[in-house]
Structure 1
């Protein structure tokens, strides 16, 4: 009976633990074992079984309590679930369902698309208000790109200009005329010859002026300039087209230079013989007026006789209508194509056709020795077209380069010398 009493006491203390070995109903019914009827052997065996079950349950409770106390992560709520005062367990909180990867990426894509629209709108705004025009990168890279585009544009223009120059050169090769050309025929009658020259004076001077103005439109009149084109025409005759710009400093007026120029023209054979060591004589010269004449020159170079027959026209304008009322001097020389009184002799002489236009205009520049004040500079523009009617024999004996010795350089130096100006070397 002592064992039974002790066994009854232990289950009463552990009544709160739900043991899988000893149900709660059995514990309640066995609490009144003192009044239950049965044999002593059955009662003794049943008592031992209850004692063993109680000991096992007690050990399980102690182990569970020790594990809970040893785990620092155990919360007070876990302890309350094990107490005798809260026999009903609380339900676990449900977690939100997890989104699939496809759904997450779809949402991210939508957000990025909206952000891209905002950035594109911002970029359009910057282009319109800041002139970005699609430029990207640092300011240095933008400037570099602009420089590259500008350089390519300039190069394209230069290529176009070279193409134009090629077209002009090709035109010179195939064209038998030039802007200064007009057919001149002089008869035998002196009065007729005089009248022919008088009738064409204004036209020749106007043609010379218009050509030089067009040829020098984009050229600085205060800087020297020389351009030369040498070629052969369709008949194989050596030709030369030349344009020059020269300046005379330290002069007092355009008329001063113009008078010296006319003096040189009237004595050209003397100057050429002295300066170029080429024997040159004036076979004939008929003056219609002081500024109109017909002349014939013969030069001997390397044993070859070269003749030229030209008409000379000149005029000084005190106030030229196209020069804003400024003074202007114009000289025009054209070749006589047919002369009944003095025909060409191609078997004995090489015919030299010269067409020349000269214009003198005043220009002003700042004095170099002072910061204030200006000085007069007379600029001279010269356009020349030269052709040699050479046969095969004369071309083999004398080169065209030697025949094209420019008398214009001799003229410029002669004017400087007459005006006591510094010598000019070209």
Structure 2
């Protein structure tokens, strides 16, 4: 079983678009769906170009970190990992999506001085789009921290390569710039 990972972190560059979510749920869903399509198409194209000459059955890891002229930090990671005992790429994709959708719970459980409130109502979840608004407070010093992240995920079936399980997934997380439902 083979897995490709392409992780691209860009902070404050012109490539990063500010995500603005309105208060009403219809426009939130439309804006999220529009962002998801743009993100998946952009990241998918980079992924296809990057892995086109690589053998998916050989391990590989590359890391690039650099600072742009505008002093923004960028990090790109590309890896091919062989997993033993896994039945499908979709199984790995589902585990990655589950992990990123719930990782703040694990952090809160491990750091006993951190209290985290997860605000995510049922109408904010669309297939392939997950939004997590978190407000955390350290119990000792009452330092408040908030995070508002939207994650886009999509799995693609493939028939252009010879293997028993021909698919790949893309997971993209972005910070929400403005959110009228959570204006804190």
| Greater share of residues in helix | 1
Q: What do residues 11-59 of structure 1 show as CA deviations (whole Å, max 9, x unaligned)?
A: xxxxxxxxxxxxxxxxxxxxxxxxxxxxxxxxxxxxxxxxxxxxxxxxx
| Root-mean-square deviation (Å) | 3.7
Relative to 1, partners in 2 of residues 1:342 and 1:321: Cα closer, same or farther, differing over 3 Å?
Answer: farther
Superposed displacement of residue 343, structure 1: 3.0
1:270 aligned to 2:105? yes
Which protein is bigger by CA-based radius of gyration? 1
How many residues get paired? 167
Match of 2:116 in 1: 281
SS at match of 1:271: helix
Counting only pairs closer than 5 Å after superposition, residues 130-279 of structure 1 correspond to structure 2 as 176-178=13-15, 181-217=16-52, 221=56, 222-229=58-65, 231=67, 234=70, 239-247=73-81, 248-274=83-109, 279=114
Match of 2:132 in 1: 295
1:327 aligned to 2:161? no
Which segment is superposed worse, 327-336 or 303-312?
Answer: 303-312
Superposed displacement of residue 342, structure 1: 2.0
Match of 2:153 in 1: 314
Q: TM-score, normalised by structure 1?
A: 0.33
Q: Which has the higher contact order (CA 8 A, sep 6+)?
A: 2
| Greater share of residues in strand | 2
Where in structure 1 are there 5+ consecutive unaligned residues?
A: 1-171, 345-426
Superposed displacement of residue 323, structure 1: 5.6
Relative to 1, partners in 2 of residues 1:223 and 1:230: Cα closer, same or farther, differing over 3 Å?
Answer: same
> Within 2, Cα distance between the matches of 1:284 and 1:262?
18
Q: What do residues 304-324 of structure 1 show as CA deviations (whole Å, max 9, x unaligned)?
A: 64432222222223x336667
> Within 2, Cα distance between the matches of 1:228 and 1:277?
34
Contact 1:315 1:330 in 2 (8 A): yes
Superposed displacement of residue 220, structure 1: 5.6
Relative to 1, partners in 2 of residues 1:244 and 1:272: Cα closer, same or farther, differing over 3 Å?
Answer: farther
Contact 1:278 1:299 in 2 (8 A): no
Where in structure 2 are there 5+ consecutive unaligned residues?
A: 1-9
